[in-house]
């Protein structure tokens, strides 16, 4: 009987956690859309980029580096410019992105790259109204899905699609250009609900 009890005791000790082994640290919290944009704009203030493009124009919403999402969650934001045209209506000459910034969502320094830019054409002004809020909420929902390494579904997918489609409708030339940089994600955006992709 005693050898049996000793064996049970040894088994229990072998299965118990070793206090000398440190616990795995929790993963850093995921960045919000506002934090991602702040980091991207800070990276764009790098002297070389400013010298080449002193005009700090608008940024695209965050686009996933990988789609479907992976554990290494990161997004890219593209900086582009639009130039007012002397016409009777509010219209702009739109340019392709002049820089791209990659922002890791769980810490790490952003990286930026200068791009060759060209004129895309003329775009008329689209009132922002509530679209800015919609796009920001859509971006936040996308970032949460990326940090979970999951393809969004249900209401979350609907919100992302609605916000990003609203932005693409307001910047059709730029959106068409960015589709070539993230084709799989834009294909998902154009899919119909319910989301099963």
How does pLDDT run across 33-59, given as a tens digit for each residue?
999 999 999 998 876 655 455 555 689
Per-residue pLDDT at 171 exceeds 80: yes
- Higher pLDDT: 180 or 72? It is 180
pTM: 0.77
Percentage of the chain modeled with pLDDT above 70: 71
**Could you state, in order of their start, the residue ranges of all structural domains in the chain?**
30-186
How does pLDDT run across 110-164, given as a tens digit for each residue?
999 989 989 888 877 665 444 445 899 999 999 999 999 999 999 999 999 999 9
The residue behind tokens 């993963």 is 27
């Amino acid at each position: 009987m005693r050898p049996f009890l000793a064996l049970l005791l040894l088994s229990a000790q072998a299965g118990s956690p070793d206090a000398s082994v440190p616990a795995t640290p929790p993963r850093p919290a995921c960045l919000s859309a506002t934090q991602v944009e702040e980091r991207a704009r800070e990276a764009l203030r790098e002297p070389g980029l400013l010298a080449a493009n002193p005009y700090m124009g608008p940024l695209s919403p965050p686009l996933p580096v990988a789609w479907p999402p992976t554990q290494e969650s990161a997004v890219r934001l593209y900086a582009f410019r639009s130039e007012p045209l002397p016409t009777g209506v509010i219209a702009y000459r739109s340019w392709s992105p002049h820089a791209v910034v990659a922002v890791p969502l769980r810490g790490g320094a952003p990286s930026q790259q200068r791009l060759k830019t060209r004129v895309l054409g003329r775009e008329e002004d689209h009132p922002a109204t509530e679209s800015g809020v919609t796009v920001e909420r859509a971006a936040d929902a996308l970032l949460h899905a990326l940090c979970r390494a999951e393809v969004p579904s249900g209401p979350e997918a609907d919100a992302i699609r609605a916000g990003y489609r609203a932005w693409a409708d307001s910047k059709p030339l730029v959106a068409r250009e960015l589709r070539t940089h993230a084709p799989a994600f834009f294909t998902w955006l154009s899919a119909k609900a319910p989301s099963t992709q």
